[in-house]
Amino acid sequence: MRGIVTFYLTYLLCLMLGITCVALVAHWNYSYRGGFAWDGSVKQFNWHPVFMVTGMVVLYGNAAVVYRIPLTWGHNKLPWKLLHAGLLLLSFVLSVIGLCAVFDYHNANHTANLYSLHSWVGICTTALFTAQWVMGFTAFLLPCTPMTARALVKPAHVWMGGIILVLGIVSCISGINEKLFFALKGNTNGTLPYSALPPEAITANALGVIIVAFGLVVLKILSNQIWQRPEPGYEEGVYQPLGYDGS
C-alpha cells in the first residue's frame, strides 16, 4: 500500500508539472510574444515552442509512464499498448507541426535553417523519435512479430525511450534560451536586455526549470524497479498491487 501511495503522489506531481509546462509555454508566447497565427509572421514561429514542449516533452513523458500505473497491472496489456502508441503518435504529430511552423517561418523571412546547436539537437531527436516509434509499432503491435524478437528489442526500446526524452528536454531548454537571447536585446529592439531579467525572462526561465523537473520525475518513475509492470513469471519481491494475478 505504501508503494501505491508513493507512486500516485509522484504521478500526480508528474501530471501537475506537465500541465504547468503547457500553460507556461502558451502564456509566454501569447502574452509576451504577440500570440499565434499561421501567416509567415513571427506569430507563426510562436507555435513552435508550444507544440515542441507539449509534444516532445509532456505527451512523450506521459506516454512513457503509462505502463507504470498500478491499476493497469493484472489486466489485458493491449489497450495500454494502444494508449502508449497513440500518445506517442500524437506527440510525434505535434512535433512535426512545430517543425513545420519554424521551417515555414524561416523560409518566408529568408532566414537560414538548421544552423544552431539547438536545431541540430532538435532534428536528431525527432529523427530518433521517428525510428523509435516505427520500431516499437513493428515489434510490439504487429501480431506477426515473434516473441523472441520482442524480447530482443525491448531493452533497446526502453533505453532509447529515456534517451529521447532527455534529448527532447535539452532541445526545449536550449531553444528557450536561444529565443530569449534573440528577443531580449535591450536598446536594439526596445526591450530590456536578458541580463536585466525582465518578466518575460523570468517566465521563460521558469518554464525551462519546470521542464527539467518534469523530466526528472518521469525518469524517477521509469527507473524505480518496484514500479515496473510485472510480466508473467515475475520475480518475487517485486511490488504487486492488490488483485494482480500475473495475467
Give dist(CA 6, CA 68) in Å, integer: 12
Q: How many CB atoms lie within 10 A of CB 217?
A: 20
Helix (H, G, I), strand (E, B) or coil at 126: helix
Specify the DSSP class assigned to residue 57. I
Specify the DSSP class assigned to residue 186. G
Question: Would 75 be classed as within a structural domain?
Answer: yes
Question: Would 170 be classed as within a structural domain?
Answer: yes
User: Residue-wise pLDDT tens for the chain (247 aa)?
Assistant: 667 899 999 999 999 999 999 999 999 999 999 999 999 999 999 999 999 999 999 999 999 999 888 887 877 888 989 999 999 999 999 999 999 999 999 999 999 999 999 999 999 999 999 999 999 999 999 989 999 999 999 999 999 999 999 999 999 999 999 999 999 987 777 889 999 999 999 999 999 999 999 999 999 999 998 888 876 544 433 434 433 333 3
pLDDT in the model for residue 70: 86
Question: Would 179 be classed as within a structural domain?
Answer: yes
pLDDT in the model for residue 2: 65
Give dist(CA 5, CA 76) in Å, integer: 23
Question: Would 242 be classed as within a structural domain?
Answer: no
- How would you classify residue 128: left for phi > 0, otherwise alpha for psi between -120 and 50, otherwise beta? alpha
Q: How many CB atoms lie within 10 A of CB 112?
A: 9
Domain of 187, in residue numbers: 2-227
Listed residue (167, 162, 165) closest to 117, CA to CA:
167
Specify the DSSP class assigned to residue 196. G
Listed residue (21, 230, 67, 78) closest to 161, CA to CA:
67
What residues contact residue 104 under an 8 Å CB cut-off, 6+ apart? 40, 44
Is 53:17 a contact under the CB 8 Å cutoff?
no
pLDDT in the model for residue 186: 79
Give the C-alpha distances (Å, rounded to integers) separating 241 from 65, 74, 228: 16, 9, 11
Write the CATH number for 86. 1.20.120.1770
Q: Is 91 exposed, middle or buried (0-12, 13-18, 19+ CB in 10 A)?
A: buried
Question: Would 237 be classed as within a structural domain?
Answer: no
The pTM of the whole model exceeds 0.85 = yes
Q: How many domains does the chain have?
A: 1
Question: Would 236 be classed as within a structural domain?
Answer: no
Question: Would 234 be classed as within a structural domain?
Answer: no
Question: Would 232 be classed as within a structural domain?
Answer: no
Give dist(CA 48, CA 97) in Å, integer: 8
